Chains A and B, each alone.
Chain A
């Protein structure tokens, strides 16, 4: 195994991790505000089909991405309407959103099956990308990869260094107290939920335009659920989300490189690895109840009643 293979494995890991980072950061903000939106899989698929469809029909991937984010945000708005205004059960509504998203994306995406699309172009950073070894490994990705890193920095800064972020975290821990302090709890939760939807939509669009440029029903293959587990595994901290996403990205691409690495296991079992890894990391994090107690936003999943 030579250095080129290593670089290839690293690059494909980064690519596989990018949609996970994008969606997970959105879910992180969402859950930090106290809202549990299980519908990530549905929003991802709707984002994937929207990004692909608009990208193919308009010829502009940028428009596709904007459309995907809008579609994800729209689905999240629907979720918000049901859970924040109409006070429905967050778990059930999230599941409904996921199932609805799967069905809607399959239905809307029918005319796009089998159509080709140009893969999003890589944007090598001038000068830096010419450094041997580090160049191809770090500086020859498409814009969305760089965006995912920038988004991590932005979310980190927002949550921990801005007063708006502090308000959001306060709402996630004690919405009743925040409400009596005059913070617009419901409005901020709406915004958080829609941010989560937009990033999930963008992550889905990355799947269908960059990772595997095509549209297939259900192409996210459970990544939406893995993202939810990822946020738990990261104990709701942005840096751990980033690292965990790379870990999962690596596990996901293992099956592609297994043959090259001389591993002789049936492909179906290799494909099981991301799902097995998800279960394992959940067990590791959840086995001590104090970990969850100390890190989970205290009001996560509970409806907020402004009038008591």
Chain B
């Protein structure tokens, strides 16, 4: 490494400016990569850019779609970010989302005569479903020390199969021409829209409100403080008696509950029924949203809008540019990589290295007091 023209020098303190700048740098790098990708595919980069990033949101309906798609991302990522701060890696938000949808959907399908109580009950059921699914991982982690990464992930596949079983079998709409989907939900079982001409519903407002609650919880409550300490300095947290088990349970319950809420608001919203593909990977995209949003509620809100734009752009690119739907997933993965690389600049700065100085430079960070 010492014969490279530049080197990494550890900063005395992590840079606050870079903490805000690195998601922007990552987003810019992603856009640049998109530019290169579109050119390589033989498309006019500027035209492709417009199709992908500008046109989807250029109308009222499009803007509504932006907010609509950001809702499940925001909800999941808010829950995940609280957990990640406590070093609890809940990777199974996708599964918790599905179980929340199943729980809320089951109320819509099998409980009649609820009138105006249908929606609140469904939302509560969704939260409970997601929490219950995450509780499995919390129990196994606290009681048996199993990695929550692998358990929550396995539960995703199990949840997907569970959903498939229900919509192909017992819950399939008998009048639905054998399509694997449930009956459509009734009028009172669908979330009210925010305006006549758009599809975005009150779940978006709920998500924004929860962002505020999340901010309050993390920065102003003792429980949130305990979780942050547990993530930043586990040994210190242990000495201070901040129960590790309680933190793990809290982190997974919050993450699971929010994901469950996201799930039920999708099926009680734009989808309106249960089907095998209620989520194009929102639970996984939410992980990226949480990171790009710096695990902070405001950042998460902004990052979920960006990610939502990527989803919309991918759909537009499919129709107008004949690109495969997976271009969205590609951009998402690239974005996360760039973010991790850009985060480097928070702890290190880049300096030009002169050959002779390189060796001495290592000592700059650790000045040695020589007593003579």
Contacts and interface: CB of A to CB of B under 8 A. Distances in A.
Contacts of A188: none
B284 A278 contact: no
Given A107-B326, A221-B157, A275-B157, A100 B337 contact: yes
Interface in A100-126: 100-104, 106-107, 110
B149 A103 contact: no
Interface in A266-308: 266, 268-269, 271-272, 275-276, 278-279, 282-283, 286-287, 289, 292, 307-308
A96 B144 contact: no
Given A100-B337, A308-B366, A225 B145 contact: no
A106 B168 CA distance: 26
Interface of B: 1, 8, 89, 91, 140, 143-147, 149-151, 153-155, 157-158, 161-162, 164-165, 168-169, 284, 287-288, 291, 324-334, 336-337, 340-341, 343-344, 347-348, 362, 365-366
Contacts of A106: 324-326, 329-330
A77 to B, nearest CB: 13
Please name the 6 residue pairs, one residue from A and one from B, whose CB atoms are nearest each other, closest first.
Answer: A100-B333, A103-B329, A106-B326, A268-B165, A110-B324, A103-B330
Nearest to A103: B329
Nearest to A222: B157
Q: Is the interface of B mostly helix, strand, loop or mixed?
A: helix
Given A225-B153, A229-B150, A279-B154, A89 B334 contact: no
B144 A38 contact: no
Binding site of A, secondary structure by majority: helix, strand, loop or mixed? helix
A86 interface: yes
B366 to A, nearest CB: 7
A107 B145 contact: no
Contacts, number: 128
A140 B334 CA distance: 43
26 contacts: A78-B337, A86-B8, A89-B340, A96-B336, A99-B332, A99-B336, A103-B326, A103-B330, A104-B330, A106-B326, A106-B329, A107-B324, A107-B327, A221-B157, A225-B153, A232-B150, A268-B161, A268-B162, A268-B168, A272-B162, A276-B158, A278-B150, A279-B140, A279-B146, A287-B145, A307-B362
A287 B144 CA distance: 4
Q: Which of A87, A95, A225, A276 has the most CB of B within 10 A?
A: A95
B317 to A, nearest CB: 11
A286 B336 contact: no
Given A86-B341, A92-B340, A217 B287 contact: no
Interface string A75-86: 000100010011
Contacts of B149: 38, 91
Contacts of A100: 330, 333-334, 336-337
Nearest to A271: B161
B340 A96 contact: yes
Contact of A283 (B144, B161, B168, B330): B144
Contact of B341 (A82, A271, A272, A287): A82
Given A88-B344, A104-B333, 16 more contacts: A78-B337, A82-B340, A95-B287, A96-B337, A103-B332, A103-B333, A106-B329, A268-B164, A268-B165, A272-B158, A272-B162, A278-B154, A279-B151, A283-B140, A286-B145, A287-B143
Contacts of A102: 329, 333
A283 B146 contact: yes
A271 B163 CA distance: 13
Interface residues of A, number: 46
A217 B326 contact: yes
Q: Which of A87, A101, A275, A289 has the most CB of B within 10 A?
A: A275
Nearest to A93: B340
Contacts of A282: 140, 146-147, 150-151
Contacts of B168: 268
A275 B158 contact: yes
A228 B150 contact: yes
A291 to B, nearest CB: 9
A99 B164 CA distance: 23
Contacts of A279: 140, 146, 150-151, 154-155
A99 B284 contact: yes
A89, A107, A217, A222: residue with the most chain B Cβ atoms closer than 10 Å: A107
A66 to B, nearest CB: 24
Contacts of B343: 88
A99 B281 CA distance: 10
A86 B155 CA distance: 33
A86 B348 CA distance: 9
A95 B92 CA distance: 12
Given A82-B340, A88-B343, A107 B330 contact: yes
Contacts of A286: 144-147
A263 to B, nearest CB: 16
A84 to B, nearest CB: 11
A229 B146 CA distance: 10
